A and B are shown apart, each in its own frame.
Chain A
Amino acid sequence: MGEGVKTFDCEGRSTREINMFLKEAASRGMEAEVILLNPDSRHNLAVGLTTPLTIRIEGHVGYYCAGLCEGVAVDVKGGAGWGLGENLMAGRVQIAGSAGSAAGATMRGGTVIVGGDAGARCGVAMKGGTLVVGGDVGYMTGFMMQKGVMIVGGNAGEALGDSLYEGKIYIRGSIDALGSDAIQTDLTEADITLLSEALTDAGMDMVPADFKKIVSGKKLYNFDKTEKEIWKTAL
């Protein structure tokens, strides 16, 4: 192990102790990497860190990992539960395995990368940043998305991009059903460049031209309550 790398064994320690250790390491402005051993799928690991810190987690994590963070770089060598990287402001959260529901929910900046599949409500109410999922995403992915970029290497469940305002969803596989006011549009040169860079950054070997682009149809921008058809399809 290199100099400056600090290892912390989670076994037998409370979640609060682990997070205090991380907070302290972050407050010291540690340039080096911090490694967590034996995370044992526990919840709320590496949450609320608002100063830069590089964290490698050797195993699976539970719910809300790396939530409410700004400027961290979290690399999970396993899977995650619900709410991965929730409300991330800036930084990078990457997991090798699959994530539960609501990965990258309400994120405002930074990058969240899921190597495997993600569950339902992935990137719900995203307000910025980039969310990349190598595999499939569950239903209601990108619901009420307001800004940012979502890239899905696999298939999507029902109601993809339902009621999204802004932002872009790129998807390579099939879509069970598009959500209200989500429409498919053509890829531009700028999209290809964006995809190419994001996929390379995420370490995913996929061809940008294979992706479809989903954006807002903007019909719900001016909701006309007298329009019966809208009531039928809007949530």
Chain B
Amino acid sequence: MCGIAGVLHKQVTEEPAAIGRALLTMATCLQHRGMDSAGMAVFGGANSGLHLQVMMPLSRPLPEPREILDLGKGRLSELCPEKAGFSAAIRPASGNALEADLALIQALEAGLPGSTVSGMGVRMTVEKAVGLADGLEGSVGSLTGTHGIAHLRLATESKIDPAHAQPFWGRPYPDLAVTHNGHITNYHKLRLRFEAEGFGFASHNDSEIIGIYLGRKMAAGLSLHEALAAAGKELDGSYSCIVATANGLGVVRDPFATKPLLYVETETQVALGSEPQALYRLLGQDAVIKEIKPREVRVWERA
């Protein structure tokens, strides 16, 4: 199984919406679909400039700031310790951003044993932890913004640890995350191809390939809708996916559609979830629920 959810406020309002709270509400309703780990990606206001997040094992003490800054070779600043790891501001790379960002991620993960760069972006915050969704209350509960996605994992392959939890960041592309229910059966083939191109992976979870796939397509000039349509043709296996970018949310479902995905669209917001109760709990029992159809691609971007 696995549970996935997403929410988007369509219009620009003065007050940011309680996205973290909405995701936690839906995640609680979908908890039975996956109890191994939980995660959320929340897109807040464009306030902080480009930053990255690094998850560290709780058993390890945080390294000295100097050590981290040295690994960043002058690109990192404003280090900020978090519950399990740290975040840092990133200076824009001179030259090829893709190569420079890949090199930065690699340097950090190689230099800080057990660490995982879990996200990077101007607006995106990724939080994930082993255990139930309410374990994210402290880190996500108060996060506000415009949209976000959530995942409840039932691991059917690969390790259970924060690095293998979802949502997965489409590394190294900023402000891109994916939450996925299903399996990608041509994962190994695609991974070999992407690794040969220089892309790095944080886990051995097949779901991680999706964000990288989409990021790569969009970097080549495709729109989110086009990238998702390409994914629908090229990814094998069973998948219901929600992808979040800086501008909005998109979904894709495989032709057999054995993994559920429902949505409700109102004048002001869109909510997506694996099962109806998550949507009714968030938007009331009168919400009109629709299904994302097999092979369907759909994108909601903010006005």
The answer to whether B162 has its CB under 8 Å from any CB of chain A is no
> Do A42 and B277 touch (CB < 8 A)?
yes
> Do B276 and A81 touch (CB < 8 A)?
yes
Task: For chain B, residues 205 to 262, give those with C-beta under 8 angstroms from any C-beta of chain A.
Answer: 257, 260
Task: For chain A, residues 100 to 125, give those with C-beta under 8 angstroms from any C-beta of chain B.
Answer: 100-101, 117, 119-120
Q: Specify which of A40, A117, A139 is in contact with B277 (CB 8 Å cutoff).
A: A40
> Do A60 and B275 touch (CB < 8 A)?
no
> Do B285 and A100 touch (CB < 8 A)?
no
Cβ distance A163 to chain B, nearest Cβ, rounded Å: 16
Q: Specify which of A41, A59, A82, A98 is in contact with B260 (CB 8 Å cutoff).
A: A82
Task: For chain B, residues 258 to 298, give those with C-beta under 8 angstroms from any C-beta of chain A.
Answer: 260, 275-277, 280, 285, 289, 291, 293-294
> Do A79 and B260 touch (CB < 8 A)?
no
> Do A60 and B294 touch (CB < 8 A)?
no
Q: Given A41-B277, A82-B260, verify A157-B289 contact (CB < 8 Å).
A: no
Cβ distance B263 to chain A, nearest Cβ, rounded Å: 13
**Which chain A residue lies CB-closest to B294?**
A139
Interface centre among B275, B276, B294, by most chain A C-beta atoms within 10 angstroms, is B276
Task: For chain A, residues 57 to 95, give those with C-beta under 8 angstroms from any C-beta of chain B.
Answer: 59-60, 62-63, 78-79, 81-82
Interface majority SS (helix, strand, loop, mixed), chain B: loop
Bound CA–CA A120/B291 (angstroms): 10
Cβ distance B284 to chain A, nearest Cβ, rounded Å: 11
A-B contact count, CB below 8 Å?
Answer: 40
**Which chain A residue lies CB-closest to B279?**
A41
Bound CA–CA A60/B281 (angstroms): 11
Bound CA–CA A157/B293 (angstroms): 9
Bound CA–CA A62/B289 (angstroms): 13
The answer to whether A129 has its CB under 8 Å from any CB of chain B is no
Cβ distance A76 to chain B, nearest Cβ, rounded Å: 12
> Do A60 and B291 touch (CB < 8 A)?
no
The answer to whether A138 has its CB under 8 Å from any CB of chain B is yes
Task: For chain A, residues 40 to 54, give those with C-beta under 8 angstroms from any C-beta of chain B.
Answer: 40-42
Q: Given A60-B280, A157-B294, verify A98-B289 contact (CB < 8 Å).
A: yes
Which residues does chain A contribute within 8 Å of B293, judged by CB atoms?
138, 157
Bound CA–CA A60/B285 (angstroms): 8
> Do B257 and A62 touch (CB < 8 A)?
no
**Which chain B residue lies CB-closest to A38?**
B285
> Do B275 and A41 touch (CB < 8 A)?
yes
> Do A41 and B291 touch (CB < 8 A)?
no
Mark A residues whose CB is within 8 Å of B. 40-42, 59-60, 62-63, 78-79, 81-82, 98, 100-101, 117, 119-120, 138-139, 157
Question: Can you report 11 residue pairs joining A to B where beta carbons are below 8 Å apart?
Answer: A40-B280, A41-B280, A42-B277, A59-B285, A60-B277, A81-B275, A98-B289, A101-B257, A101-B260, A138-B291, A157-B293
Mark B residues whose CB is within 8 Å of A. 257, 260, 275-277, 280, 285, 289, 291, 293-294
**Shortest Cβ-Cβ A-B pairs, 4 listed:** A41-B277, A41-B276, A120-B257, A139-B294
